[in-house]
Amino acid sequence: MDKIHLNQMEFWGYHGLFPEENKLGQRFYVDAQLELDLKPAAASDDMTKSIDYGAVYEVTKTVVEGEAYALVETVAEKLAGKLLQEFSILEACHLKVYKPDPPIPGHYKSVAIEISRSRHS
């Protein structure tokens, strides 16, 4: 299956278990790997046979910067569902949602949730 990658999309969201996270917000990054057949788009040079990257960004922004959830797992699941709903040509999506500044002790670059969802599962 062919793939479109959108890497390190950056957003400001209010997700987390702690009241400060829900009030102050923080950065989130999303990597999206979209699976679909790109051969018809490539053969015809017709954007309607592919997925508009800007539209994917806007859907992602709506989910990540929208309703606040306690878990990043929920953010990822909601985003996968919305992408599959919005883009009928999309067969599957693999998402990685990064939370670079979680309020937990330790030194690391980020924590992340990675999920894969498809129309057939």
User: Considering only CA atoms, which of 104, 119, 118 is closest in space to residue 26?
Assistant: 104
Q: Which residues are catalytic?
A: 99
Cα 28 to Cα 52: distance, rounded to the nearest angstrom: 22
Burial of 13 (0-12, 13-18, 19+ CB in 10 A): buried
